[in-house]
Structure 1
Amino acid sequence: MTAASFRAALRVQGNVIGALILRELHTRFGRANIGYLWLFAEPMLLAVAVALLHSNHDLPIAGGIRPIPFAIAGYGLFIMFRSVVSRAETVIEANRPLLHHRPVTIPDMLIARMALEAVSTIVVLIVLLGGAWALGFADPPARPEAFAGAVALMCWFAFGLSMIVTAASHQSPVVGRLVHPLLYLSMPLSGAFFALSWFPQGVRDLLVWVPTVHIFELLKVGQFEAFESRWIDLPYVIGWCGALTLLGLLGLKHLRARIELS
């Protein structure tokens, strides 16, 4: 493949993903009530509610780290992870007719959904953290590159896992039924609402096996000037993301050959 044909192929897939994003917006939100604004309003309301619940809590972290931005950033990023993975089981049935079009692939559909959730999360975090800063409840991110890196890693991790969920749930409906409760059960262990420094060594040695814990530790490093973590293992997280992506692509390749379009 020449460079020109590669660029042309990228443009085609970019157009496909853009069209899928618009279709997803229309089918999920339509034009009723506030329409597309629900993409931002729903996670914003949830994040505000969680932040208010944690507003009077003293965090066991040195340096005066405030509870409201701690809760907003952690829960906001977890909402994105949960939404990308939980919606993966319905992607085939919602978009099956589109597979008649050769340029449209199942990964394109999942990328479109992930892009929507990522944009929603980024906008919500900017609005809520900016509002908290304006009201004196938060400070701007101390290390924006680390903050952005945590969001990017969570997008990659959620996308890889969503491919596996799509392939597995199509083979077994039981998997689809288990995804939602497992996601809610995973929240206490995800790292969204704790720091590794809170725990004794024995508990910490177990928690570091959870890849999302490293992502949330990186998020906190990016958010707070006083937050430090010596347990972040980025190669471990990248390895997880790469393995999930590879397994997901193999699963979708096997799935695509078994899907009946008629």
Structure 2
Amino acid sequence: MSTRYGRSPGGYVWAIAEPLGALVFMAFAFSLLLRTPSLGNSFILFYASGFLPFQVMAQVETAVTGALRFSRPLLMYPAVSWFDAIAARFLLNFLTSVTVMIIVLAGILQFTDTTVVLEFGPMIEATILAAFLGLGLGTLNAVLTGLYPVWGSFYGILNRPRIIYAGVIFIYEDLSGIVQDIIWYIPFVHITGLFRDGVYPTYSPQYISELLVLTWAVVTLFFGLLLMRRFRQDILMR
């Protein structure tokens, strides 16, 4: 916690300020272009319901991807294993992201005129799936980036439009049939849709597949752990 957030002025304040600032900017920008969001009448709540679970996945993935590099000095000690580094980064960033989610969502409901009846089951399920997917992708990327540094740059390019096709700024039903058929195989849109299912009582997405998200998470985590166990020393010596 001290090394992750204690080095910058404000520390944990930035963990809350960054997503809140992004939400305010998106809500203001799209309110100038659209009369109403795809769900409800609050732009900031609509984008928060997509951005916050996406942020959990993205934060966990980024932290786990850099776990070996971040903890390289500690990994020189025999008592500290590569699994310790991944587990510590995962737990810290998952708990931080969930705390930020609760604070931001509660603040939006408290200080805006939005009235909703939250159903916590789908919201909790979406958050857990987001964290699990971030762990799987992050573990696999930690190996690939460690062995092939160019992969980090290439993956970064692929990630830039991810906030668009993750369903943060739209809902799946707004897309045409051809686009729906393609984007259905991307797990992020299932997570944001499931979270919104708990935020909006009138929204009942029929496309969601928890099995698809779990498959992505399990497969990436399996190969990530398998390769990490085999190549961890090669990565640390680079």
Write the distance in 2 (CA, Å) between the matches of 1:139 and 1:121. 24
Show the counterpart of 2:220: 244
Q: Which deviates further from its counterpart, 70-79 or 111-120?
A: 111-120
User: Identity over the aligned pairs, expressed in percent?
Assistant: 25
SS at match of 2:168: coil
Residue 59 (structure 1) aligned to one of 15, 27, 37: 37
Task: Output the amino acid matched with 2:111.
Answer: L
Show the counterpart of 1:119: 95
Q: 1:127 to 1:260 in 2, by over 3 A?
A: closer
Cα distance, 1:164 vs. partner?
0.7
Write the distance in 2 (CA, Å) between the matches of 1:100 and 1:121. 29
Write the distance in 2 (CA, Å) between the matches of 1:245 and 1:31. 30
Q: Which sections of structure 2, spanning at least 5 residues, go unmatched? A: none
Show the counterpart of 2:206: 230
Show the counterpart of 2:48: 72
SS at match of 2:12: helix
Write the distance in 2 (CA, Å) between the matches of 1:88 and 1:31. 19
Cα distance, 1:257 vs. partner?
4.1
User: Is 1:188 matched up with 2:158?
Assistant: no
Q: 1:117 to 1:151 in 2, by over 3 A?
A: same
Q: 1:163 to 1:171 in 2, by over 3 A?
A: same
Cα distance, 1:116 vs. partner?
2.7
User: Is 1:197 matched up with 2:166?
Assistant: no
CA contact (8 A) 1:107 1:163 kept: no
Write the distance in 1 (CA, Å) between the matches of 2:206 and 2:194. 10
The equivalences for 1:1-262 within 5 A come to: 25-30=1-6, 33-55=9-31, 57=34, 58-61=36-39, 64=40, 66-140=42-116, 142-259=118-235
Write the distance in 2 (CA, Å) between the matches of 1:74 and 1:224. 12
Q: 1:137 to 1:124 in 2, by over 3 A?
A: farther
Q: 1:29 to 1:153 in 2, by over 3 A?
A: same
Cα distance, 1:55 vs. partner?
4.2
Cα distance, 1:167 vs. partner?
0.2
Aligned length: 236
SS at match of 1:59: coil
Query: After TM superposition, what 4+ stretches of structure 1 lie above 4 angstroms from structure 2?
Result: 259-262
CA contact (8 A) 1:50 1:72 kept: no
TM-score (norm. length: structure 2) = 0.87
Bigger radius of gyration: 1
Taking only aligned residues, the RMSD between alpha carbons, in angstroms, comes to 2.4
Write the distance in 1 (CA, Å) between the matches of 2:98 and 2:117. 13
